[in-house]
Structure 1
Amino acid sequence: MTEYLLFPGRHHVLTRFQGEFLKQFAERTVVWAVTSANHRTTKRNPVAFDRREAAIERFSVAEGIRSLVVGVVDTPPTDEFAEVTVKAIEAGTDDLVRLTPENTVVACSTPEVSKLYEQLGYSVIGVEPEGTTRPWDVLLMIAAGNEQWKELAHPATVDVFERYALDAHVARCVNDPVVGDDGGLTTTRDYKTYADAFETAADRKWQQIKAFVRPGRILDIGCATGATLQLVDRDPRFHESDLIGVEVARHLFAECEHKKEQGLFSNPNVYFYQRNMLGSAVFPPRSIDTTLTLALTHEIWSYADGSRPDTVQRFADALYAHTAPNGVWINSDVCGPDEPDRPVVLRLDDSDGENPDDITELESLDDPATYVGKLSTRARFFQFAHDFRRNANVPFGYEVRADGLVLRLADAMDFLTRKDYVDNWLSETHEQFCGLNFASWTTVAERAGFTIDPSSTAWRNDWVVDNRITPVASITTPTGDPVDWPVTHQLMIARR
């Protein structure tokens, strides 16, 4: 008699059909290999492993099935998926369960996955025949708000979803316009590079903002790796404060939780949420004393769902709503120049790299960073224009005039402040640094109800100007008069 029935899958939703199917194997132990167990709050994997496991256990009791539930971490597509899963089950049961073709039958309806198990010698039986509503179809019904999902899902899933409000959570994840299938803003983003940059910049940013932070409930939206909250944690003024981080990107959120598990925070009241703040309200009204948005608001603008002005206003309105009386919103980020539409002539060095005749579709390259890194500054401009227009959905108009490029000052600065970000080029060209200038951002905050503190200011990063821009670029008026480099950053202190 075969001892085990291996049932691999993500198992976000269990169905009534699965209950009837598995009753046939009541004499065997069903081994639920829950794949992508380390993922949650993504389009592909919205439900956390512990919730999936809870539903499976309730399902097993209800159907009289003996089950073992083992989480399998997400892996890139591989022909060794079946072998990896079997080994993960051995590790997850401390080697008490060893699945072999002699003692195990695999239940799977995905032909590609079934083939991998068959190549290892396992017998495979299908679960859902053609025409049967599959679990993922039920999950999409939940995301669409179709209440008929409850008629197809097993009562165990319905119970867990209702108790933990997972139907709303699934809808928020699946329908999120910003976050990709695997919980990132873009599929091309190198999160290690981003994490390193955030860690390096945290102390500098903290020195800039720490005088304005109010004790109480301190919220860092877009907290990245939690580096700024670590600095708040070390400041004795905030010893009794609650420190709250919100991060939408799965990779960065995981690092925040890892730091907390390692004991890198002395304050026990440190909490992290993986959430897109544009999706819905996260905190009760008037409950937050300090909100930090560091290098975030340009992303709110860039990844807006629909009208960008409406999106950033909605974001500011939500911040005002959750800010306590006498609370503060501290915004430190890039911004556009004071005169964004001013026409300028931009001249760029073409001797510092290669100058190909044509633009390259970078997605077709194995190593876009190396290719862009070899381009001259001038050639990099034309590549940027091509990628920026389609990725950020902006006009980015310019005219070639002799050795100069005539364009808006804001567009010139969008290129010049991003031209050296070759490691994340495709990701960076989704974002617009100069969509709004400082005056526009303060207007957004005032419309929400905030009062702008006199300490607020726009400023220029002279290190970037002196070391990255001036050596390879210059700007003049169309008549040839020199133009000073404009502001590049803002510090806005908005009080309620």
Structure 2
Amino acid sequence: MRYVLFPGRHHLLTRFQADYLRTLDATVIWAVTSANHENTKRNPIPYHRREAAIERLSALTGLHSIVVPIFDTAPTNAFAEVTLKTVAVVTGLDLTPDNTVVACSTPSVSALYEKLGYPVQGVEEDEERPWEVLLRLAAGDETWRDLAHPATIDVYERYRLVEAVRTAVNDPLVGDEGGLTATRDYRTYAEAFADAADRKWKAVAGYVRPGRIVDIGCGAGSLLELADREPGLHESDLIGVEVARHLYQECVHKKAQGVFQNANVYFYQRNVLGGAIFADRSIDTTLTFALTHEIWSYGKQRASLRQFIRRIYDHTTPGGVWINSDVCGPDDPHRQVLLRLSTADGANPAKPRRDLNSEDHVPAYVGSLSTRARLDQFAVDFAFPFDYEPVGDDTVRIELGAAMDYLTRKDYLDNWLSETQEQFCGLSFADWRELLAEAGFELDPSSKPTRNDWVIDNRIAPVAALTDTDGRPLDWPTTHLLTVARRGRAL
């Protein structure tokens, strides 16, 4: 055989792999899969560092190697064909069953090549596999160095990848593919944020301090696009930080397409709870929109949010500002109220389903329920349990905070399974004031709780009514907040 096709993610190379490949005496085609993924649990190392380690191994061992990036695709039985076609396009090589053996130890992948007629050689069938060695590294087991090839050790040490791997693999918040939740529809999420970007920017632009401006949880970069158009910010650095791979890649794509006129626009894929991102006292303005409730929800509630606020305080320059816009709970979340909900706008099954998952047509099913029945389904799916007591067919006795968590989420059908993992009403404005003071921030007088009257008038009031326990009507409470928090100039 002239060629050995060696598909895999190749985040870590082992001594055994090098010794084995040398025995085959052929050109090795390293098909590096998930080449467009990085900084996730499944793919912690960027492609260019993986390629560098492969080239380093080849130089040290004398292997004749060709490295080909294979971008991720949706699960498909045509994976082998996609890989072979990519190799042909990138290298011009025609790999056939007559001139190529496939080196692979994953049975499901091997079967795809065998179906095309390629001979397959197992590699690590009786050896510890590279991913298992990488997990040793992530766990702090230094014996990984005994199994890893010196080429990997060299690249990991030169580019400080050991800690990067441990951070990504052990991150308690970020999923395997680089996001907070595996069920979120990022297309609709990004579109909704883009639609609201103009309104959000107009609300905060007057508080932005020029200099180094960072948008944490920047989504697809819509807000930074508007900042980029501000004449007064043309000499500022505009920095976007996003944890979700899908959104981060869209930011990078926009920059490559020339969307931003400012040359000093940068994007980073980072989890802000994984460690400090910016040096102390280095950022003039921090922007966060619809982010802090996610830190509360996916982390350890108040403890995680307090840690996040302290990190922002640390990286803020004296006189700098943090502008935060997000959802907010009512002032008295534990107050018992009566909530009347329509039963005439959908189905009213005897019991809620307890088996909804991403394979179901969740939007269609939840959307078919009446507002009253949807509360029962929300109570099952919501990650923050609450109690409520039926009072007649269409009314429940419930705490005000839980009522507003449901009412502000009941129409999020496209992302029901992810939205029900997040709590909107975990903190009141008074709680926010206390947290910011604990970190050392000074709250600007412009900071205030607000109510989204459009949502009230169009989404909530037509199908719901709120009273005290004696039946007296109540005003709808706070739904959002805007805080402008400044770091004092004193040393």
1:400 aligned residue: 390
2:438 aligned residue: 447
Q: Which runs of 5+ in 1 are unaligned?
A: none
2:172 aligned residue: 177
2:107 aligned residue: 111
Question: What do you get for the CA RMSD once the two structures are aligned?
Answer: 0.9
Give the drift of 1:395.
2.3
2:11 aligned residue: 12
Give the drift of 1:76.
2.4
2:78 aligned residue: 80
1:331 aligned residue: 324
Supply the AA of the counterpart residue of 2:444: D
Q: 1:295 aligned to 2:303?
A: no
Q: Which among 121, 139, 142 is matched to residue 144 of structure 1?
A: 139
Supply the AA of the counterpart residue of 1:135: P
1:354 aligned residue: 347
Q: Which among 79, 87, 90 is matched to residue 92 of structure 1?
A: 90
Q: Distance in 2 between matches of 1:14 and 1:178?
A: 27
Give the drift of 1:37.
0.5
Q: Which among 130, 133, 136 is matched to residue 135 of structure 1?
A: 130
2:364 aligned residue: 370
Matched residue pairs, number?
A: 485
Q: Tell me, yes or no, if the aligned pair for 2:328 and 2:428 is still in contact at 8 Å.
A: yes
Deviations 1:370-421 (A, max 9, x none): 1111111111111001100xxx2x2211111123111111100000000000
Q: Distance in 2 between matches of 1:263 and 1:149?
A: 43
Deviations 1:27-74 (A, max 9, x none): x21000000111111111111110100000001111101111001111
Q: Which runs of 5+ in 2 are unaligned?
A: none
The TM-score with structure 1 as length reference comes to 0.97
Q: 1:261 aligned to 2:256?
A: yes
Supply the AA of the counterpart residue of 1:410: G
2:63 aligned residue: 65
Deviations 1:416-471 (A, max 9, x none): 00000001000100000000011111211110000000000000000000000000
Equivalences for residues 450-465 of structure 1 within 5 A: 450-465=441-456
Three-state SS of the structure 1 residue aligned to 2:239 is strand
Q: Which among 45, 50, 53 is matched to residue 43 of structure 2?
A: 45
Equivalences for residues 170-209 of structure 1 within 5 A: 170-209=165-204
Supply the AA of the counterpart residue of 1:247: E
With over 3 angstroms needed to count, the CA separation of the structure-2 counterparts of 1:41 and 1:365, relative to structure 1, is closer
1:384 aligned residue: 378
Supply the AA of the counterpart residue of 2:428: N
Q: Distance in 2 between matches of 1:362 and 1:91?
A: 43
Give the drift of 1:147.
1.5
Deviations 1:213-271 (A, max 9, x none): 00000010000000000101100111000111110001000101000000100111111
2:233 aligned residue: 238
The TM-score with structure 2 as length reference comes to 0.98
Q: Distance in 2 between matches of 1:189 and 1:98?
A: 40
Q: Tell me, yes or no, if the aligned pair for 2:183 and 2:358 is still in contact at 8 Å.
A: no
Q: Distance in 1 between matches of 2:236 and 2:461?
A: 44
2:222 aligned residue: 227
Deviations 1:187-228 (A, max 9, x none): 111000001011101111000000000000001000000000
Q: 1:414 aligned to 2:412?
A: no
Q: Could you list the runs of 4 or more consecutive aligned residues of structure 1 that deviate by over 3 angstroms after TM superposition?
A: none
Supply the AA of the counterpart residue of 2:417: L
Supply the AA of the counterpart residue of 1:36: S
